Amino acid sequence: MVSLKDVATMAGVSLMTVSRVINHPQNVKPATRERVQQAIDTLNYVPDYSARKIRNQGVTASTIAILALDTATTPYSVEMLLAIEQTARESGWNSFLINILSVDDSERAVKQLLSQRPDGIIFTTMGLRHVTLPQALEDKPVVLANCVSDTPGLPCYIPDDFDGQYQATRYLIAQGYRRPLCFWLPVEMLASKARRDGFEKAWLEAGLSLDDVQQYHMTIGDAHYTDLAALLEAHYHQEQPDFDVLVCGNDRIAFVGYQQLLAKGMKIPQQVAVLGYDNLIGVGELFLPPLSTVQLPHHELGRQAALHVIEGRQSRGISRIPCPLLKRISL
């Protein structure tokens, strides 16, 4: 690892001068500051702020760093971050959060994170997705939460979307529904295939034919949520729907479905039932009638990822966290 001395040698200055450039750059002549900064950039030196913290306090605290890609900027997955912080605090650990603000921002975020010399790193994302681990983190103790990567050996904690949809589909079959209309998430999204596969497995296991199921995938992009309205319109014949349950890729899709069904005078669930997915915080109970949906386990994802670091777990690969069905009124 590059040291402060390496930077000083390359720049031809003293250790004290390098320290001043890092901590009080306004007190250093511009020409000297530029020379030191050039050496820092060339050597890819990361200042060790944690060492200064230890010198000042005389103690060493175990710390989890959270690298958050869209996780803190959306209301749907922030519970995962709160669970990490709470679990760390309960175990006497510290935690801190670094946001990746854009695709081009990862290098800055990683440097800022590593400067604190954390004992473990949790990489989180909003929405299950594939991530490329920044090169600077490849030899670090990293745990993924709500994402997967091609980097071999990384521990990953993700929702069990397959089983969540499988169990929910078994329930709707037991309730007597036989003519589903499914509007899944875009095919590009990792969760979409798992949820559709879970549905189809449960359907076939019940001895039912997929020929009786009408399935569509939403086009990627938030603007396409309302495409469901036109789709539902095409599935009415003589003012009656040709489906008895609307299976939605997530609760936002269900929201559009509710508006369209209620505008048509349909009674939920007496005429058409609705099943969502995600259980968006504070939203499911606001549907009238309340929406039956599958719970995304954001809290447990954060908790298990934090415990992986704190307990020093040696497990590798993907760990799937259960997604329970929340039975409300719409199904």
272-291 pLDDT tens trace:
999 999 998 777 778 999 99
Q: What is the mean pLDDT of the chain?
A: 90
Contact indicator for 293, 251 with CB cutoff of 8 Å: yes
Per-residue confidence at 1, pLDDT binned at 50, 70, 90? Answer: low
Res 48: pLDDT: 62
Tell me what the mean pLDDT of segment 110-127 comes to: 92
Mean pLDDT throughout 306-319? 94
Q: Buried b vs exposed e over 132-145: b needs ≥16 C-beta within 10 Å? A: ebbeebeeeebbbb
The class of domain 161-294 in CATH terms is alpha beta
Tens of pLDDT along 214-234? 999 999 999 999 999 999 999
Domain with CATH 3.40.50.2300 in the chain: 53-159+298-322, 161-294
Banded model confidence at residue 331, pLDDT cuts 50, 70, 90? very high
- Identify which has the larger pLDDT, 5 or 141: 141
pLDDT, position 219: 97
As annotated, the residues of the chain forming the CATH 1.10.260.40 domain(s) are 4-45
What is the pLDDT at residue 59? Answer: 46
Q: Which percentage of the chain shows pLDDT scores above 90?
A: 66
- CB burial of residue 302 (10 Å; 0-12, 13-18, 19+): buried
- Can you give the pLDDT at residue 47? 67
- Higher-confidence residue of 17 and 159: namely 159
Residues in the chain: 331
Q: What beta strand segments (E) does the chain contain? A: 63-69, 94-100, 120-130, 142-148, 155-159, 180-184, 214-217, 236-237, 240-241, 245-248, 273-275, 293-294, 317-321, 325-326
CATH of 53-159+298-322, one of 3.20.20.100, 3.40.50.2300, 3.30.70.1290, 3.40.190.10: 3.40.50.2300
pLDDT at 171 over 70: yes
- Residue 156 burial (CB < 10 Å; 0-12/13-18/19+)? buried
Give the pLDDT score at 193.
96
pLDDT at 255: 95
Class of domain 4-45: mainly alpha
- Asked which of 51-60, 284-293, 317-326 is least confident by mean pLDDT, the reply is 51-60
**Can you give the pLDDT at residue 283?**
76
Structure confidence at residue 55 as a pLDDT band (50, 70, 90): very low
Average pLDDT over residues 67-92: 88
| pLDDT tier for residue 71 given thresholds of 50, 70 and 90 | confident
- What average pLDDT does this structure show over 74-103? 89
Question: Each residue of 148-165: pLDDT tens digit?
Answer: 998 888 999 999 999 999
CA distances 134 to 67, 288, 300, Å, are 11, 45, 25
Of residues 53 and 207, the one with the higher pLDDT is 207
Structure tokens at 315: 């497990």
